Structure 1
């Protein structure tokens, strides 16, 4: 049985407190880790000096399929956002992940005409 499975009880959930997962740290090393920031794998290998725990590896494996926002990553892994931000900060330091800001809200905002078309379509149903 691996150590990762010792930390989770099927009925009770995680048996290790979040601050222990983040090694007592509460702040990420990067300010780029906004809730909506998109995180992706960088494609680089971990350096020999990298101290990656089981949760770091879980984050990397979750990002293997596709890039994700920080908030979605936290939800998928069942960890608090603060812990995910700390773990991602570690991965950023080792250049294992890349972070890009969320899309500009103005670029994706719906126009009034689009909203009217949606309303008319719903009424037609």
Structure 2
């Protein structure tokens, strides 16, 4: 055990003492659509009611734009559980979402870049 705030909920040998789906009361469908690349950002507003420590942790991670996948990884929770937590925060207007920027298709098919990468890989192998 460590002196971290969540030390009561994590046992080094057993892992999380509270199962992931318990923190979202068994819900598996977020009320807001997210994919793993959706960017979330704290609005500065705090929920009017206390939602729980996991919601607080998620909100703290969203100080700058961060993807849903990154939040899930930092929290060590399944993506669907993270999406439910984030959806709760969006409903309380504590988070805002944005789709990731599209990559220009020309950049994907730039033959010169792809050939340079291939040459570099061949040198390493």
Query: Same fold, TM exceeding 0.5?
Result: yes
TM-score normalized by the length of structure 2: 0.81
1:27 aligned partner: 29
Unaligned runs of 5+ in 1: none
How far did 1:122 drift?
5.4
2:42 aligned partner: 41
Q: How many residues align?
A: 121
Q: Which of structures 1 and 2 has the larger relative contact order (alpha carbons within 8 angstroms, sep 6+)?
A: 1
In the TM superposition, 1:60-71 aligns within 5 A as 60-64=59-63, 66-71=64-69
**Counterpart among 3, 11, 25 of residue 9 in structure 1:** 11
How far did 1:57 drift?
0.6
Distance 2:67 2:32 in 1: 15
Find out whether 1:59 has 2:58 as its counterpart. Answer: yes
Find out whether 1:103 has 2:101 as its counterpart. Answer: yes
Distance 1:18 1:76, change over 3 A: same
How far did 1:120 drift?
3.9
- CA offsets, 1:26-78, max 9 Å, x none? 110101x11111111112x2243x332000011011222x3211111101110
For the aligned residue pairs, the C-alpha RMSD in angstroms reads 2.5
How far did 1:118 drift?
3.0
